[in-house]
Amino acid sequence: MRPEMLEELLAKAGTLMEALPWIKRTWGGTVVIKYGGSAMTDPELRDSVAADIVLMKLVGINPVIVHGGGPEITSYMERLGMAVEFYQGLRVTDDAAMEVVKMVLVGKVNKELVSAINQHGRLAVGLAGDDGNLIKAKQLDARLGRVGEVTRVDTTVVENLIADGFIPVIASVAAGDDAGSYNINADLVAGEIASALDADKVIFLTDVDGLYADFADKDSLISALSLEEAEAMVSGGTLSSGMIPKVDACIHALHAGVERAHILNGTSPHALLLEVYTDAGVGTMITRDGSLGLPDDEMYAAYEGEVTL
């Protein structure tokens, strides 16, 4: 074997060894992944993320996927000649718009993601939040129409799918007490489901690398921060409007017992795997105390990060 080939193989072995303590730590745990951003609309990115999710499943994690689909909803509404209106950052959703929301989220986006995952085997099952009364909601504000806030989460159907070896893929609509459906922000749904499942992690895929101390300074990416620091960022008004629901969902999940919340750039190759299975990670992680939480493991302590002959 040529020396350069052996060196390349040893580098790959080193990568696997770095991942091993993280695989041990996450084995059998549940991770809720909020799937969104360009990774949802770009077919190549979607297939890459789906492959990462499958690998996570095959090495012992129970992934649960939550998705929205705002840009596609807007596109379909415009094609149908419907008015697109937002109030305080949320889509105004009358009865006709709610029909489009369900058509796009449940009938299109959900099926595409399930299909991408199932290219790798009989793995994923699609759900809407109103299936099995998984998510119950009430009207958030009369000015928003059928936009809801979550009142209850019943994870029975999700737990049954996990027990049977499937990856649940959940569209962010909810059942109302009026027998209708409600449109719910997918970030908030992910946080609620992570809390109800007592998940180990909740991960938000977006189009930016994470949280920044100063968004204009790309060298100011925050690798880890505490729950208290995250709450201060929200109350201090330093976050963009699109990031606020994600950080709010992280905060809610951590208060409910979830150990870690992550914000990642879903357009970066294999961001999920790098964040979950490597020491450094690639996004922002929020924990109660702000620590990176490296595995405290005898094998890990003995491993020095490289493989030698």
Phi/psi of residue 21, each to 5°? -65, -30
- Contact between 92 and 86 under an 8 Å Cβ cutoff? The reply is yes
Which CATH superfamily hosts domain 27-302?
Acetylglutamate kinase-like (3.40.1160.10)
Q: What is the pLDDT of residue 35?
A: 92
Rounded-to-integer distance, Cα 277 and Cα 309, Å: 24
Average pLDDT for consecutive 10-residue bins of the chain (309 residues)? 75 78 88 86 88 94 94 94 90 95 95 95 95 94 94 96 97 91 93 94 90 81 90 84 85 90 89 82 85 52 38
Rounded-to-integer distance, Cα 65 and Cα 87, Å: 27
Q: What is the pLDDT of residue 33?
A: 96
CA 122 to chain centroid: 21
**Range list of H helices, 137-289:** 156-163, 186-197, 227-235, 244-255, 271-277
- Contact between 191 and 202 under an 8 Å Cβ cutoff? The reply is yes
Q: What is the pLDDT of residue 300?
A: 38
Q: What is the pLDDT of residue 208?
A: 86
Rounded-to-integer distance, Cα 193 and Cα 188, Å: 9
List Cβ neighbours of 57 (8 Å cut-off, separation of 6 or more).
Answer: 63, 123, 167
* Two tokens, residue 236: 């201090």
